[in-house]
């Protein structure tokens, strides 16, 4: 049975826009049915701030994979696209996070769903709101638009490209 998932994409090394586009191509090749994508936003780094600005976006997708299987596929894609894990929160060619996985709520050492900092990050909430403003956070049941409206911080974001720039054929 297919589950609706929302994935957050981020890049701050190399050709950031191309990294996002390649990640979407890789997701499709890995059997993740990517549907709509948000606009692309530029944001300041959070936590570890001594690094370049990020480009961020969110995609809506469907998958028959279970959450841990999806995580393994995402990590494989990240490695294929040159991600090397070093400093926590440090620079990266690509970061792909599971934001929401259907109605799943889980917390393990390897994976927390929904994403544990989803409600704190404007660079995630703004593009997610573009796709699914009425989506309810599976744990606290607030809508994405309410979470975004209630966010006092979360970093500055600026729309830099429309959703059409994430389509691999453009």
**Is residue 23 in some structural domain?**
yes
Q: Can you read off the two tokens belonging to residue 149?
A: 């409206």
Among 16, 22, 73, 97, the active-site one is: 97
Q: Residue 170: which pLDDT band, with cuts at 50, 70 and 90?
A: very low
Mean model confidence pLDDT for the chain: 92
Mean per-residue pLDDT, 93-103:
96
The strand pairing partners of 97, in sequence order, are 8
**Is residue 64 in some structural domain?**
yes
**Is residue 168 in some structural domain?**
no
**Is residue 17 in some structural domain?**
yes
Given a contact cutoff of 8 angstroms between Cβ atoms, the answer to whether 54 and 123 are in contact is yes
97 is annotated as an active-site residue = yes
- Return the closest-CA partner of residue 24 out of 74, 79, 67: 74
Q: Can you read off the two tokens belonging to residue 166?
A: 């994430």
Number of domains composing the chain: 1
- The domain of 49 spans 3-163
- Return the closest-CA partner of residue 7 out of 53, 81, 73, 87: 73
- Return the closest-CA partner of residue 136 out of 149, 145, 126, 124: 145
Say which residue, 170 or 130, is predicted with more confidence.
Answer: 130
**Is residue 7 in some structural domain?**
yes
47 is annotated as an active-site residue = no
Among 16, 22, 73, 92, the active-site one is: 92
For 129-161, how does the pLDDT look when each residue is reduced to its tens digit (9 = 90+)?
999 999 999 999 999 999 999 998 767 899 998
Confidence (pTM): 0.94
The CATH number for 158's domain is 3.30.70.560
**Is residue 115 in some structural domain?**
yes
**Is residue 170 in some structural domain?**
no
């Amino acid at each position: 049975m297919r589950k609706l998932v929302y994935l957050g994409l981020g890049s701050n090394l190399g050709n950031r826009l191309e990294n996002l586009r390649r990640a979407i191509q890789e997701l499709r090749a890995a059997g993740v049915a990517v549907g709509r994508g948000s606009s692309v936003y530029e944001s300041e780094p959070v936590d570890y701030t001594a690094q370049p600005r990020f480009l961020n976006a969110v995609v809506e997708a469907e998958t028959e994979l279970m959450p841990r299987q999806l995580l393994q596929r995402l990590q494989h894609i990240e490695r294929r696209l040159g991600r090397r894990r070093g400093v926590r929160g440090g620079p990266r060619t690509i970061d792909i996070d599971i934001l929401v996985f259907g109605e799943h709520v889980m917390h393990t050492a390897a994976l927390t769903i929904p994403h544990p900092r989803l409600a704190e990050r404007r660079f995630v909430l703004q593009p997610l709101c573009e796709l699914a403003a009425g989506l309810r956070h599976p744990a606290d049941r607030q809508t994405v638009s309410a979470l975004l409206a209630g966010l006092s911080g979360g970093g500055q974001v600026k729309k830099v490209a429309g959703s059409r720039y994430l389509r691999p054929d453009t």
